[in-house]
């Protein structure tokens, strides 16, 4: 899910296929999310999907760890965050 201004894009996957269901709502005119506007507002849907994909890609990159000799190597940013939370010294 991603929200931008008055728009909200929801992603779901179909069990019987590899396609994703996409739902797009204008929260200003449809706060109860009753009318899926994805087919009518394709460009807005595509734009929000691109933003969401970029965010997901950045999260995937941040979560990467490499393993060598059965030891996990953490990047500096993650190490600093874990130290700040008291998980490691």
Q: Is 22 helix (H, G, I), strand (E, B) or coil?
A: strand
pLDDT tens digits for range 48-59: 999 999 998 888
The number of beta carbons lying within 10 Å of the beta carbon of residue 50 is 11
Express each pLDDT in 38-84 by its tens digit: 999 999 999 999 999 999 888 877 776 554 566 667 788 888 998 99
Measure CA of the first residue to CA of the last residue in the chain; give whole Å: 36
Tokens of 42: 């394709």
Q: Could you tell me the domains of the chain? A: 2-84 (3.30.1120)
Residue scoring higher pLDDT (36 or 57): 36
Note the pLDDT of residue 45. Answer: 94
What is the reported pTM? 0.63
Q: How many residues does the chain have?
A: 89
- Gap between the Cα atoms of 54 and 14, Å rounded: 22
pLDDT band at 89 (very low <50, low <70, confident <90, very high): confident
């Amino acid at each position: 899910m991603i929200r931008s201004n008055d728009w909200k894009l929801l992603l779901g996957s179909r069990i019987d296929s590899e396609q994703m269901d996409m739902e797009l709502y204008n929260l200003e005119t449809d706060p109860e999310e009753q009318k899926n506007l994805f087919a009518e507002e394709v460009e807005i849907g595509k734009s929000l999907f691109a933003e969401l994909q970029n965010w997901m890609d950045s999260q995937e990159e941040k979560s990467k760890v490499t393993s060598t000799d059965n030891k996990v190597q953490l990047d500096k940013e993650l190490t600093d965050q874990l130290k700040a939370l008291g998980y490691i010294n």
